[in-house]
């Protein structure tokens, strides 16, 4: 990135098999396991629970990379 930060090449995705599902606990578990790159999309219809999972993890937003698609 422009500031020298690097996005982890491995991310936890919330699409396909998780379409329209509550991913909050899966996201929390992924973060607790060391994942810091989360990938979602509006079309997956689970971005609200992705956010809940981040909140449940207690990890500061500043330590996470979140990517999405339009």
Active site residues: 44
Residue-wise burial string across 25-56, b where 16 or more C-beta atoms lie within 10 A, e elsewhere: ebbbebbeeebbbbbbbeebebbebbbbbbeb
């Amino acid at each position: 990135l422009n500031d020298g930060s690097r996005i982890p090449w491995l991310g936890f995705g919330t699409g396909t098999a998780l379409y329209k599902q509550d991913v909050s606990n899966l996201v929390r578990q992924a973060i607790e396991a060391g994942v810091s790159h989360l990938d979602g999309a509006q079309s997956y219809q689970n971005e609200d629970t992705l956010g809940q999972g981040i909140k449940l993890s207690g990890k500061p937003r500043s330590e996470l990379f979140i990517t999405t698609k339009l």
